[in-house]
Amino acid sequence: MFRSHGLSIFAVVIAAFISLPVIIIVSYLVQADGALWQHLLDTVLNDYLINSLLLLLGVGTGVILLGVPTAWLTSMCSFPGRRWLSWALLLPLAMPAYIIAYTYSGLLDFAGPVQTWIRDLTGLSYGAYWFFEIRSLGGAIIMMSLVLYPYVYLLARAAFLEQSVSSIEVGCSLGYSRWQALWKLALPMARPAIIAGLSLALMETLADYGTVQYYGVSTFTTGIFRTFYGYGDTAAAAQLAASLLAFVILLVLLERYSRRRARYHSAAESRARADLIPLSGSKAIMAYVICFSPLMFGFITPATQLLLWAVFEAEPLGWDFVGLAWNSFSLAFLAAIIAVILAIILSYAKRTKPIKPVRTVLAMAGFGYALPGTIIAIGVLIPLAWLDHRLIDIFGSLGWDNPGLLLSGSLVALLFAYTVRFLAVAVGSVQSGLEKIKPSLDHVGRSMGHSPLDILRKIHVPLMRSSILTAVLIVFVDVLKELPATLILRPFNFNTMAVRAYELASDERLVDAAPASIMIVLVGLIPVLMLHASIARRRPH
């Protein structure tokens, strides 16, 4: 039995281990401490809930207003600049929300260049004129909307490009104008893609910590950090994490319930350039402004400011920055390798034995990507700290020296959390590579006497080399940008570029935070450009 199902059993064990942090948090949700829950409800839970809801509502509205019109214009209309804007609108994906928040604070605060210019020009003193308060709930909504709208833009544009041209023509033949057909036919047919992109953006909103903390907005993530660090209460932090998990589950269920009876069908046809709506004059200018504005404020302005700070004003880069870069890159590389190796094992187990237990645990292992880093960090910390204390007890009973926190106080906790958080990304890329390999190659290999592992090593891995490299790169960049889990689980006196940028910005040393921030943004551009290249290769025309 073990020889025939050994790989499947191994995959089930790995997936169960990866799912452990989520199970731990769910246990706190099911077995809630009534007194603790009442205390949270009486003191802070209402603020966390209201602010989180307002943040979700604001960001959801913002990403739709920015993502859907730009997707519609770049896929349905023809105007000057459409070709380069269609891929440039993806660039804000490389800008983490906490970095754009720090940058705009430096630009728009009282001592920033914008308000300084206003005072110099008008002669007014501070308080004599009105100016938007960037460090507020409204500021956090704007910052997140500017960097998260590409989720909606990307999926909505793909849906518009794949829609049947004949459906629009039938609408026009029934009396609709071209714009009415787009509004009443194209948009409803693209609804699943728009909702999917909106869900991704809202998940990222719930996961954010750096932006809301820096802008002084109390949400579930800031509450978890405050409870964990300020009060040292792991149980209360886990309870808040369980509440946030319930929030995430509710969001997913509402999204599915909203389209429970809807059915969408589209006979995809390639759309030639002649099928686009030609725009000229003021309409073309308006379309260009609508598409260029999110790019200008979401990427060009903050990236330019960061580059100027890093080159001309920040302290010269020294060995400290080299150490930060080494910590960040080595940690991200290790996490990427571990995640991809596990993804290969899980995906290949599903390919060789697509039985229900394997498919179930594979889906469970991928659920971590939908959860904020704070939830995963608390879920990782609780079992590893328990194991550490058991090891300390064992060492003490044997008369040995105290080994310290071997698991929860080392890079083991960080690597475990990163694997739980980003395994789904690696699995998706590896599975797409495996699906392109014909099953007949497996049969030929087995007929020649090779074991499944030999077939994987000698046939599948070389054939899906590009998919594996893509998975490594995407996980690498995601780990490089991850902030909440790193803040909670990093060992003492261990910093990464993301943590250092956060610490400097929290100390109002925004200029000194620029080198680490611009490095994160530049590395984050790599998967964005790869994504554009992949889309360009798949486009029919």
Catalogue all structural domains in the chain, each as residue range(s) with its CATH number: 25-259+271-289 (1.10.3720.10), 319-493 (1.10.3720.10)
How many Å apart are CA 446 and CA 363, to the nearest integer? Answer: 28
What sign results for the dihedral spanned by CA atoms 183, 189, 193, 196? positive
What sign results for the dihedral spanned by CA atoms 314, 318, 322, 323? negative
Quick one: pLDDT at residue 2? 42
H helical segments located in 259-354? 282-295, 301-308, 319-352
How many Å apart are CA 499 and CA 226, to the nearest integer? Answer: 17
Look at the block and give the residue holding tokens 């204390």.
389
Quick one: pLDDT at residue 36? 64
- Across-strand partners of 78? 278
Which helix H or strand E contains 194, and what residues bound it?
A: helix 191-207
DSSP label of 182: I
Quick one: pLDDT at residue 32? 56
The number of angstroms, rounded, from the C-alpha of 504 to the middle of its chain's C-alpha atoms is 23
Alpha-carbon distances of 94 from 99, 466, 529, 530, rounded to whole Å: 10, 21, 10, 12
H helical segments located in 353-458? 356-365, 373-397, 411-435, 439-447, 452-455
Task: Provide DSSP, 505-537.
Answer: HHTT-TTTTHHHHHHHHHHHHHHHHHHHHHHHH
Mean pLDDT by 10 residues, the chain (541 residues): 61 81 76 65 82 92 94 87 90 90 89 83 79 89 94 85 63 66 73 81 86 89 80 72 75 64 49 65 91 94 92 78 87 91 84 71 69 83 87 84 81 90 82 76 73 75 81 86 87 86 85 88 83 61 43
CB count in 10 Å sphere of residue 437: 14
Distance from the first to the final alpha carbon of the chain? 51
The number of angstroms, rounded, from the C-alpha of 194 to the middle of its chain's C-alpha atoms is 17
Quick one: pLDDT at residue 272? 46
Alpha-carbon distances of 168 from 67, 75, 76, 174, rounded to whole Å: 21, 14, 11, 10
